[in-house]
Amino acid sequence: MGSRSHSALPPNWQVRVSQKYDREYYFNTVTRESRWDPPTLSPQLGAKHILAKHRGSRRPSSWREENITRSESEAHDIITGYLNDIEQCDNAEKFSDCSSAKRGGDLGRFERGAMQKPFEDAVLALKPGEISKPIKTDSGVHIILRTH
């Protein structure tokens, strides 16, 4: 099966035709990802973070604590304390209430619109390598390191 190039696609993406469905799909020659919808041209963002949940969080439990009872103010104080001691969000695997803790807080790359708006706005305000001040979302209070 041949492949066609498409000038509006991001690098490493090709338009191919599915033999089974006889329709075009998009294929990334590096990651081997395939999809029906065209890949976005918008740059992807990347971030690591540490999350402190509180009893008002949309899911007040985590891998660290089954029932989180701390207040939002206490969560903010916890995150502020981490800010004073942490470089590059390196301690996420110990302190974060997010399941991404097992990946060092790394959320990988994501497109605009994929995260809660306050989180995304904070990432966009940072340059790669910068760490945010405490950011409040429905999930809790975060510190964020922009990676991409």
C-beta of residue 33 within 8 angstroms of C-beta of residue 12: no
Asked if 148 is an active-site residue, the reply is no
Of 49, 54, 57, 132, the active-site residue reads 49
Contact by Cβ (8 Å): 82, 91: yes
Question: Which tokens go with 12?
Answer: 């490493």
Active-site choice (14, 44, 76, 116) = 116
Active site residue 116: yes
| 56 Cβ contact list (under 8 Å, min separation 6) | 71, 72
**Which one of the listed residues 54, 57, 98, 132 is annotated catalytic?**
98
Residue 139 falls in the annotated catalytic set: yes
| List 57, 100, 132, 139, catalytic entry | 139
Q: Return the exposure string of 53-91: e unless at least 16 CB atoms fall within 10 Å of the residue's CB, then b.
A: bbeebeebebeeeeebebebeebbebbeebeeebeebeb
Active site residues: 49, 98, 116, 139, 142
